[in-house]
Amino acid sequence: MKYLDEYRDPVAARRLASAIRAVVTRPWTIMEVCGGQTHSLLRYGIDQMLPEGVTLLHGPGCPVCVTAAEVIDQAIALAAIPGVILCSFGDMLRVPGTRSSLLAAKARGADVRMVYSPLDAVALAVAHAEREVVFLTVGFETTAPASAMAVLQAEEAGLSNFSLLVAHVLVPPAIAALLAAPDNRVQGFLAAGHVCTVMGYDDYAPIARRHGVPIVVTGFEPVDLLRGILSCLRQLEAGQAAVENCYGRLVRRGGNTAAQAAMRRVFAIGPRVWRGMGEIPASGLDLAPAYARFDAQERFRPAVSAPGPVGPCISGEILRGRTRPTACPAFGCACTPEHPLGATMVSSEGACAAYYRYRRAAA
């Protein structure tokens, strides 16, 4: 991308909004599957530029938000082990488990550290050979290659004090699960451009055919999103259900083959529990048998107590696109970014955080 301004050009955005109004003849419901897209849609008021009958739903597009509470509990248990340094991204430290958070564990004396990359955790393991360094790795296919590289670097360095608590999730199975739900009302999807930059978009074609929904790959700027919405609506109006790439400046059909090769080498696909959605088959990455020695679960087998009572947070309903954050009675009062009740308010990509920042006055 040579210039950013052209993708935030208000004239181009208004032109695309006019084209959308001209093509729409009936109500449609579209879901974006990326928290970054959710924030852009609200920040730039794109949802308010659309015809009245076009509804945008916000899906499980925040990897921090969909990480199961049980994984957070495991991370907290690992952090409590003497000699362990538990590392993760900043948002993960504040995400609630069933009873507590990593930040609360840090306040109790656990050595919990924020890092910007799994490679930072590898560097910590090199610098602290007498300690065990565990990295809680989360994210969609976008961040999985970096986790794979961390394992490969640790192997090359001969590190025996580095391991991962893996919570990576895969987007296509989640889309398929949403479409298969009995109460599904999504008629088209905006696919996340950064995920498709890594993986390409061939995996979406069978889903589009099976469920009869268009899936349009798009980016994160206003013009990107409006182009994606227009393409999706054109397909819906024409009765088509194909995968279309509207993010061609970065996304190629085959994706980043080097990144994919690293992922295939280090990880194996398995089931994963998603917060608010339950277990989805073949939707997660686990360490492959050849790299099991880097699996923190196998190395430490952290003891986790039974889940506590369910609180007032409705983030599960929000992650499935069944309701909006403003429908939650705790939104903006009992639940704020400073005192979050759920993951969707904690994460910088969470839908509740987006509504709190851009739509709070309308709540």
Tokens 């993951």 map to which residue? 343
* This prediction's pTM: 0.93
Residue 83 sits in a domain whose CATH number is: 3.40.50.11740
Residue 178 phi, psi dihedral angles, 5° rounding = -60, -40
Total tally of structural domains belonging to the chain: 1
Residue 30 phi, psi dihedral angles, 5° rounding = -120, 145
Is 83 contained in some domain? yes
Residue 362: pLDDT over 70:
no
CA 306, chain centre distance (Å): 26
Domain boundaries, position 295 = 64-170+257-300
Is 339 contained in some domain? no
Residue 310: pLDDT over 70:
no
32-57 pLDDT, tens digit per residue, is 999 999 999 999 999 999 999 999 99
Is 181 contained in some domain? no
- What's the mean per-residue pLDDT of the chain? 94
Longest dimension (CA), the chain: 66
Question: Is the CB of residue 282 less than 8 Å from the CB of residue 170?
Answer: yes
Is 74 contained in some domain? yes
Is 76 contained in some domain? yes
Closest Cα to residue 247, out of 183, 295, 194?
Answer: 194
- Cα separation, 85 vs 79, whole angstroms: 7
Confidence (pLDDT) at 316: 87
Residue 271: pLDDT over 80:
yes
290-304 pLDDT, tens digit per residue, is 999 999 999 999 888
Is 293 contained in some domain? yes
In one-letter notation, the amino acid at residue 320 is R
Question: Is the CB of residue 319 less than 8 Å from the CB of residue 347?
Answer: no
Is 281 contained in some domain? yes
- Cα separation, 132 vs 124, whole angstroms: 9
Is 286 contained in some domain? yes
182-228 pLDDT, tens digit per residue, is 999 999 999 999 999 999 999 999 999 999 999 999 999 999 999 99
- Cα separation, 44 vs 300, whole angstroms: 46
